[in-house]
A and B are shown apart, each in its own frame.
Chain A
């Protein structure tokens, strides 16, 4: 299932620190500074978009680990986001726990759900797995409408989440959206830090081996089923965290927030950025989050009708998935890497 060529474990060269952990910590610090600088230069609406980008990127990064590294496809990570969102909404409504605890718990609960789904999925391959996860994406959010659970889950209207205001130490008129962007950004950086360590660990290597050739992996001592289930669980935990943040930022967890299109946009983000690349998941998330806003602006300036611009993102997703898979299997990240190498060779 080779879609991207993963470079061999990077040797330290030039100014990079020798330890992988230190290098990842440095990148995380850079990421935090960039997010801070970006967030303070944006207005409230753009800060909200930044928060949306961050939680989408968290879920897309989980999907890229699953599909790009371990080679299992999931069309159903939107359903895992729903699990995380509902967990967060329920905890925040019924318990007075701090947000961090609630988010970690939501991710943990979704990881357990992912473990169960992954245990079923580890027996499935290719199209069977895709279809089963598609059924998950369509089926699970309908649970909220089930009459026996309507009191707990709020039916089609969903559960509202009270937004916690930013701490008073930041000043009385500190915008809520910027606070939300900070929290989501922090979660994104932590997630990427953990995932990049996982990717360069022994488990990450096992996953890549599994993707390349399952039988050889099994012969070399990789525990196939266990590694696949772990990948599913990690991916679900990321989706759960992303979903929890989605519920917290939008103050709502409702079935309508988790349509098939959500799972699809996650897949588009991962494929567009380059399956298997964490950085790619971030670019992909930026594009799929901003695309609806761009297409709305474009359509309004061109005086197109609502039914046209509402569907531009879908059409673009479809074309992007086809073009990237057929013509540019590495996605944006492979393009950037190639560009970077070309630049370095010309300057040398």
Chain B
């Protein structure tokens, strides 16, 4: 029971990060109907930039700001240069292009930063809280991760719900032609969507870096977990990504605790396959109609 509590708390902390990455994927999917397989590469680059700041003596907070800002810029640049040519093309094209970008970024990072994993400092202490004389596996840093992710989600929901920018972005994604007629710059909204998503990804990268370390392919598994979170939630629904991320975090934590940490990747695969077998459009997704 004690182990169960520990695993549950650890699973929630990890799940919060998966939820954030899933959310980034959902944002991009809603805007451009593309699954961004380069997300893992983009957040790897921004985390490397943050690492450079930290290792040069900068503070954690400065590094976090650098990561988020560079994420915004990288997201916008990638959408303009790489994604624009494959928007509204067959889905296979976008999959191959974003996958290609993932490898390109990994190759460039390997050239610039080398392949050795680098350790990244956590924001707060990593000794668990003591409750009723027993030390939990839940640390102040875990609490920080959960709170940040929650704040980001509430913030994003508010932007989409109540700001003019959010309204324009929703209209551009929902009905591009009508939105364009009403004066919304649809292309620019797509760019903003990608920038926002990349910034959320960058944040998630810094949050998970103390656990995964930083190296060109340290975030491969994180990308798959984020994708699993997004798909479990239906790929179209931000609350779905959050639910998917948290439940995936719990399942993987139990798998790791009871079966061994070596098979966590396999656990994600099993979760993904089971959910997709039962509901091919995810838990919160609506079945897509096909027109003949």
Contact = CB atoms under 8 A, between A and B. Distances in A.
The yes or no verdict on A and B being binding partners is yes
A172 B266 CA distance: 46
Interface string A301-343: 0000001101111111111111001100000000000000000
Interface string B107-145: 110110011000000000000000000000000000000
B292 A322 contact: no
B99 A128 contact: no
B110 A142 contact: no
Interface string A181-202: 0000000000000000000000
Contacts of A313: 107
Contacts of B114: 307
Contact of A310 (B102, B115, B235, B265): B115
Interface stretch (B56-64, B87-95, B188-196): B87-95
A238 interface: no
A131 B269 contact: no
Nearest to A275: B92
B280 A128 contact: yes
Interface stretch (B44-52, B65-73, B154-162, B221-229): B221-229
Contact of B99 (A75, A124, A142, A308): A75
A229 interface: no
A311 B272 contact: no
B77 interface: no
A134 B91 contact: no
Contacts of A145: 262-263
Given A146-B263, A326-B86, A131 B101 contact: no
Question: For the complex, would chain A's binding face be called helix, strand, loop or mixed by DSSP majority?
Answer: helix
B231 interface: yes
A58 interface: no
A267 B92 CA distance: 12
Contact of A315 (B96, B104, B235): B104
Given A67-B92, A147-B262, A311-B107, A320 B280 contact: no
A145 B101 CA distance: 29
Contacts of A312: 107
Interface residues of A, number: 55
A1 B266 CA distance: 30
A127 interface: yes
B146 interface: no
Interface in B211-240: 216-217, 220-221, 223-224, 227-228, 231, 235
Given A3-B90, A314-B107, A146 B273 contact: no
B179 interface: no
A2 B97 contact: no
A130 interface: yes
Nearest to A264: B103
Sort chain B's interface into a size bin.
35 or more
A135 B228 contact: yes
Contact of B272 (A135, A146, A264): A135
B283 interface: no
A325 B101 CA distance: 12
B37 interface: yes
Contacts of A30: none
A17 to B, nearest CB: 35
Given A132-B273, A140-B269, A322 B97 contact: yes
Given A131-B227, A135-B228, A215-B290, A142 B95 contact: no
B257 interface: no
Interface string A126-151: 11101110111011101101110000
Interface string A242-276: 00000000000000000111001001000100000
Given A132-B273, A308-B111, A316-B107, 15 more contacts: A127-B235, A130-B95, A132-B231, A139-B269, A143-B263, A146-B266, A219-B292, A264-B99, A267-B99, A314-B110, A317-B107, A321-B96, A321-B97, A322-B82, A326-B85
27 contacts: A120-B273, A123-B280, A126-B95, A128-B276, A130-B37, A130-B95, A131-B272, A132-B276, A134-B223, A135-B224, A135-B228, A138-B221, A139-B269, A140-B269, A145-B263, A146-B260, A311-B216, A314-B104, A314-B107, A314-B110, A315-B111, A317-B100, A318-B103, A318-B105, A325-B86, A325-B93, A325-B97
Interface of A: 1-3, 67, 71, 73, 75, 120, 123-128, 130-132, 134-136, 138-140, 142-143, 145-147, 214-216, 219, 259-261, 264, 267, 271, 307-308, 310-322, 325-326
The 3 closest A-B pairs by CB, nearest first: A318-B104, A321-B100, A314-B107
